[in-house]
Amino acid sequence: MKKINTLQQIAQSKIVAVIRADSSEEAIQITKACIEGGITCVELTYTIPGVEDAIKSLVSEYKDDSRVVVGAGTVLDETTARLAIMAGSEFVVSPAFSKQVAKLCNLYGIPYMPGCVTITEMQEALTYGTDVIKLFPGSLVGPDYIKAVKAPLPHVNIMPTGGVSLDNIQEWLDNGCVAVGIGGNLVNAAKADGDYQKVTELARQYVEKIN
C-alpha cells in the first residue's frame, strides 16, 4: 500500500526536486527550501557525502506530513539501493536500468525509476516491474519525444530529468509525462551563495506554473 501512496503522491505533485549538494547539511537545507516552496517530492542523490544521514533526518522530520516523499537518486547497484531503503528512502532512482536494483526494489515494495532513453531500454525496464521510467537526459530528446514513445507504449509512466525548465515544464506534462524531475535549474540558486530563499521562490514559480 505504501508503494501505491508514494506513486500517487509523485503523480499528484508532478514535480520531483533532484538534490545535489556538497554535504548532508546543505542537502537538508535545500530540501527544506523546496518543501517550503511547495515541491514536496525530493530525490537526494548518492553524490552527496553522507546522503543517508540526510535521508534519515528528513524522513524523521516529515514523518507526519503525508505530502512529503523522500527518495534516493544516483543509485548504481543493489547494495546502494538496500542502504537507501534502510535509511528510509521511499523511492529509488538510477541513471540507467539495473536488473539487480529492480529486483531488490520489488522485493521491498519500493518504486524504482531507472534512467532510459530508447524504447528498447524502456521495454526491458518495464519487464522487470519498473513503475516509472526516468527519461534521462531529457535534454537529449525534448518534450515531443514523449508523444513518440507513448504511441507504441501508451501505458508507460515517464518522468523526464535534465532539460526541464520553467519555460517548458508545461509542455512536458501536456505531452503525457506523469511527473518531471528538476535538478540544477532549481537548486543551483542556493549552491552559489547559500541563499536558500532563492530555491523556495523558484520552487513556488514551478508549482504555480503547473497549477
- CB neighbours (10 Å) of residue 1? 6
Q: Where are the domains of the chain?
A: 1-205
Distance CA 125, CA 71 (A): 19
pLDDT in tens, 30-72: 999 999 999 999 999 999 999 999 999 999 999 999 999 999 9
Q: What pLDDT is stored for residue 108 in this prediction?
A: 97
- Report the pLDDT averaged over residues 153-167: 96
Q: What is the pLDDT of residue 10?
A: 98
Find the length of the chain. 211
For residue 183, what pLDDT is reported?
A: 93
Neighbours of 58 (CB within 10 A): 23
Is 43 annotated in the active site?
A: yes
Query: Looking at residue 194, what is its pLDDT?
Result: 80
Q: How confident is the model at residue 77 (pLDDT cuts 50, 70, 90)?
A: very high
Report the pLDDT averaged over residues 6-16: 97
Question: How far is the C-alpha of 210 from the C-alpha of 176, rounded, in Å?
Answer: 13
Exactly one of 14, 26, 90, 134 is catalytic; name it: 134
The residue from 14, 26, 43, 90 that is catalytic is: 43
pLDDT of residue 190 exceeding 90, the answer is no
pLDDT value, residue 173? 98
Which of 122 and 188 is assigned the larger pLDDT? Answer: 122
Look at residue 50 and give its three-state secondary structure.
coil
pLDDT digits (tens, 9 = 90+) for 96-152: 999 999 999 999 999 999 999 999 999 999 999 999 999 999 999 999 999 999 999
1-205 CATH fold: TIM Barrel (3.20.20)
User: How confident is the model at residue 16, as a pLDDT?
Assistant: 98
pTM: 0.96
Sorted by sequence, the CB contacts under 8 Å of residue 155 that are 6+ apart come out as none
The pLDDT assigned to 93 comes to: 98
Residue 179 has pLDDT above 80, yes or no: yes
Verify whether residue 134 is a known catalytic residue: yes
